[in-house]
Amino acid sequence: MEHITLLIGIVIVTALVFDFTNGFHDTANAMATTISTGALKPKVAVAMSAVLNLVGAFLSVEVAKTISGGIIDESAGIRPEIIFAGLVGAIVWNLLTWLAGLPSSSSHALFGGLIGATIVSVGFDAVNADKVVMKVLIPAVAAPIVAGLAAWCATRLTYRLARGRDERDTAKGYRAGQIASAALVSLAHGTNDAQKTMGVITLALVAGGVVAPHSDPPMWVIVSAGLAIALGTYLGGWRIIQTLGKGLTDIKPAQGFAAQTGAATVILASSHIGFALSTTQVCSGSIMGAGLGRKGGVVRWSTAGRMVMAWGLTLPAAGLVAGGAALLADQGDWGVGAVAVLGLGVSAAIWLASRRKPVTHDDLDSRDAVADAEPAGVVTAALQAVAPPPAGPLAPAASSSPEAGRAPAAAAAS
Amino acid sequence: MHIDWAALGQVFGVSLVVTVGLVGIFTLGIMGTAPRTGGSADAAAGTGALARSGAYACFALCAAAVGYGIYLIVA
C-alpha cells in the first residue's frame, strides 16, 4: 500500500461506495421472492445473503481480472479522474433507480459510467464498441427471455406434477428448495459483483502506477470490497425487494422455487459457458416467467414496463452523468473536488427524498399480511373463474400464509 | 461484429433443461414426502416406503446439483 495519492484514495472510497450501493440494489435478486413467499424472514434473508456475498467475494478473482481489460482500452490513457467520474455516474443512477424501486443492473450502471467518462475525456476510440454490444446489450435482451422461459416451463411442470395436492402440504418443501437456490444466487452474486469493484479499484491502482498492470487485486482490496457489498446487502434495498417480490406478480412458494432455481441455473450456466448474463435481468425475467406459469397468474405489465425502461436507460443515463462528471473532473483538482461535493449532495438529496416515504423491512413484513389478505379476493375470484381448483388454492387457502408471526396480522386484516 | 450465437444457444438450452429437470425432480421429492391432508383424487399412490425412498433419491440428486453449482462458482 505505497504511494497512494489523495486522488487514488478518493477513487478507492468511491468504488467502495459503489460496491455498497451494488449490494443493497441487488439484494432483491436473490431474496425478493424468498421473502415474499415467506421462506425466510426479511432480516434473516438479507443476513444470509450478506454472508454469502462476503464468502463469494473471496472465492475467485477471475472476473476482477477481466473487467480492467475488456470494454475499455486501458492503454489509451485511463486516468484515475475518469474512473472516479464513471463511479459517480454509476452511484447516482443506482440511487435514483433505488428511489424509484426499480431493479436495474448495477453492472450496466458501472459500464455506462466508465464508458461515458472515457468518451468525454479520451474519445470514442478508447471504447471497444464490439465488446459493449457483446457483453452488455445482447445479454440484456437475452437474459430475461432465457430465464423467463425456463422459469415458465418449470412452473408449469411443477404445478402439473403437484396437481391434486394441497398447497399447504407442499409449501414447506418448496420453501426449503427456494432457500437453497437463493443461496446459490447470492454466492454467485458475491463472486461476480464484488469482483467488479475489485477490478475497478485495481484498475485505479494500475492507472495511478501503484501496482503493475495485469496483476491480481491485493488482499486488502478483496477484503474491503467484500465487506462493502456485504454491508450493503445486509441493509437491504427494501424498495426493490418490494417491487420484485410483490409488485411484479404474486408469487406462491412453488413459483418462488421455480423462479429462483431458474435464475440460479441461468446465472451459473451463462457464466460457465462464457456468455455472461446480467443477474438483475435474469432474476426479473425468471420472476415474470414464474408469474405467468401459474394458471390465473398475472404479471403487472405497467411495473414490468417501467422496469424495462429503466434497463434501457441505465447505460446511457449513467454514461451521461459520468460524462458530465468527467468534464468537470478534468479541470483539475478543484474539478474533482466539485464532483465529489456534487455527488455527495445528490446522494444526500436522494436519501432525504427516500425518507419521505420510507420502505423498511417491518413495512415489508406487515404489508405482506395486508397484501395477502386483500388482493386475495380478486386473485382467487379470477382463479376460480379461469382455472379449475387444483391449479391454485381455494379462497381460504390463498390468504393463509402459515407463518406463526404473521398469522395474527392476517387474521386482523381479514 | 461477431455475436456468439452458439454460446447463447447453449446457455439457453442448458438453462432450460437443467431448470425444468431440477424443478421436476424436486417436485417429485416433495410429492413423495409431503403429508396428505388435503382430499386428493389419486389416493392410490400413498406415501409408502417406496415413495419415500424415491423422494429421498430425488432430494439427493438436487443436493448433488447444488454441490455442482457451488463447484462451478468456486472453480
Q: Do A60 and B38 touch (CB under 8 A)?
A: no
Counted domains in chain B = 1
Residues of chain A with pLDDT > 90, as a percent, come to 10
Instruction: Determine the pLDDT at residue A414.
Output: 38
Reading chain B (75 residues) residue by residue, the pLDDT tens digits are: 667 778 788 888 888 998 999 888 888 888 887 766 544 445 444 557 777 888 888 888 888 888 888 888 777
Q: Do A169 and B7 touch (CB under 8 A)?
A: no
* Residue reference for cell 437453497: A180
Counted domains in chain A = 2
What are the pLDDT digits (tens) for A40-57? 888 888 899 999 988 888
How does DSSP assign A73-104, residue by residue? -GGGT--HHHHHHHHHHHHHHHHHHHHTT---
Residue A401 and residue A304 in one domain: no
Instruction: Determine the pLDDT at residue A63.
Output: 62
Closest alpha carbon within chain A to B15: A266
Residue A294 and residue A392 in one domain: no
Q: Examine the fold and report which residue of A359, A374, A400 is the final residue of a domain before the chain moves on.
A: A359
Judge whether B40 lies within some domain. Answer: no
Between A288 and A70, name the one with better pLDDT: A288
Residue A179 and residue A207 in one domain: yes
What are the pLDDT digits (tens) for A81-133? 888 898 999 999 999 998 888 888 888 888 889 889 888 888 887 777 777 77
Instruction: Determine the pLDDT at residue A208.
Output: 76
Q: Do A184 and B70 touch (CB under 8 A)?
A: yes
Q: Which residues of B touch A253 (CB under 8 A)?
A: none
Task: Using the predicted structure, report yes or no on whether residue A358 has a pLDDT greater than 50.
Answer: yes
Average pLDDT, integer, range A214-222? 81
Q: Do B34 and A272 touch (CB under 8 A)?
A: no
Residue to test with chain A: of B27, B62, B74, most A Cβ within 10 A? B27
Residue A405 and residue A375 in one domain: yes
Residue A284 and residue A367 in one domain: no
Residue A335 and residue A384 in one domain: no
Task: State the first-to-last Cα distance of chain B, in angstroms, to the nearest integer.
Answer: 30
Residues of the domain holding A387: 361-414
ipTM of the shown complex: 0.81
Judge whether A1 lies within some domain. Answer: no
Residue A67 and residue A139 in one domain: yes
Q: Looking at chain A from residue 188 to 247, which residues have their Cβ under 8 Å from any Cβ of chain B?
A: 188, 191
Q: Do B36 and A168 touch (CB under 8 A)?
A: no
Q: How many angstroms separate the CA atoms of A150 and A269, rounded? A: 12
Residue A240 and residue A378 in one domain: no
Judge whether B57 lies within some domain. Answer: yes
Q: How many angstroms separate the CA atoms of A136 and A155, rounded? A: 28
Average pLDDT value for chain A: 78
Judge whether B68 lies within some domain. Answer: yes
What is each CA distance from A406 to A41, A164, A281, A366, in whole angstroms? 10, 27, 31, 8
CA A199 to chain centre: 18
What is each CA distance from B34 to A391, B38, B46, in whole angstroms? 17, 11, 11
Judge whether B50 lies within some domain. Answer: yes
